[in-house]
Structure 1
């Protein structure tokens, strides 16, 4: 089955202070953030991997830069958060499992290589970094069995951070979409995962990539850090 991938790129990214959508930000190697994501996806899963991008703010600039992928438009990009953007994309991806990522993540190509085994087994996961736990990032805790328990920016006693690259299995997808429908417009997609865990018993594995780089570019200093790796 062809792997379905989703890139969430509808937001305005105002904290970075650029006029273009944040995924089009140029990196030190001359590629945009989104181009390195495409390159990493193709390197891990081949040219046949299907990429669906959720756009909103200045959508035409992304479509012009990457005309050969599928698009979903979130016309409420200025009123909703990643939960609703992802919901729109998942509705367009059929019955199979879906790999998705935030459109501002600069990451080591080996991250997706490490994820291949879980994807082939169709096991839901969240990539995590246990080397740091920042207050402003999405944090997580685990159950006694080692699966994700809590997952949000308000988690107390988090043991690591979510990186922003995730996979929902074909069997868990329906429950996840149901919860994305009911969460608030301003909720992140992680709230839908928390509800699926709590109410449907979804088992979400933490995929540790602490030894590899992955940087969510929110501020200028994040971009500087990302450019140390590419």
Structure 2
């Protein structure tokens, strides 16, 4: 079965101060952020991977740039957060697990090489970076068995940061959908994962990719840092 991949790209990305959707921001190697994501997906999963993009803000530009993808429209992109974009994508997905990523992450192709084995094993995971723990980022803790216990920006004593590349298994997908539907419109998708862990005992592994680069581009300085790697 072809790997199902979702890219969340509905938001306005106003903090970067660009007129086009943030995933179309050009990198120093001439590719857009989303183009390097597509290249990385193809590198790890081949051309048969099925990519769905959740669109909203100025969607026509993304649709024109990536006509080979499927699209899910978050018509409330200016009123909701990533929890509702992911909800729409999972509801539209086929049978099987789903790998998803934020549309503004610039990352080493080797990240998905490492993730590939867990996707094949159908094991839910959240990619993490343990080399830094910034207050404004989504952080995590683990339980005694090493699975994710807490996952939010308000976590105290975080072990690292969530990178924004994740996988929900076929067995867990319906549970996550249920919790994403219940969370507040302004919640990030991590809140749905956290609730699924708390209420249903979901086993989500932290996948450490600290030895690779992964930069979520929110501000101009993030873009400068990402351009050092590509």
TM-score, with normalisation over the residues of structure 2? 1.00
- Give the Cα separation in 1 of the matches to 2:223 and 2:4: 28
Q: How does 1:72-151 map to 2 (within 5 A)?
A: 72-151=72-151
Question: How far off is 1:34 after superposition?
Answer: 0.1
Which residue is 1:167 aligned to? Answer: 167
* Matching of residue 23 in structure 1 with residue 38 in structure 2: no
After TM superposition, the runs of 4+ consecutive aligned structure 1 residues lying more than 4 A away are none
* Matching of residue 66 in structure 1 with residue 66 in structure 2: yes
- Give the Cα separation in 2 of the matches to 1:76 and 1:173: 23
- Give the Cα separation in 2 of the matches to 1:179 and 1:22: 27
Aligned residues: 230
- Give the Cα separation in 1 of the matches to 2:200 and 2:172: 9
* Matching of residue 220 in structure 1 with residue 220 in structure 2: yes
- Give the Cα separation in 1 of the matches to 2:95 and 2:173: 8
- Give the Cα separation in 1 of the matches to 2:56 and 2:26: 19
Which residue is 2:201 aligned to? Answer: 201
Which residue is 1:51 aligned to? Answer: 51
SS of alignment partner, residue 113 of structure 2: helix
Structure 1: 5+ residue stretches without partners: none
Instruction: Write out per-residue CA displacement over residues 125-178 of structure 1, whole angstroms, 9 at most, x where no aligned residue.
Output: 000000000011000000010000000001011010000000000000000000
- Give the Cα separation in 2 of the matches to 1:220 and 1:45: 31
- Give the Cα separation in 1 of the matches to 2:103 and 2:56: 12
Question: How far off is 1:86 after superposition?
Answer: 0.4
Structure 2: 5+ residue stretches without partners: none
- Give the Cα separation in 2 of the matches to 1:94 and 1:25: 30
Instruction: Write out per-residue CA displacement over residues 180-227 of structure 1, whole angstroms, 9 at most, x where no aligned residue.
Output: 000000000000000100111100000000010000000000000000
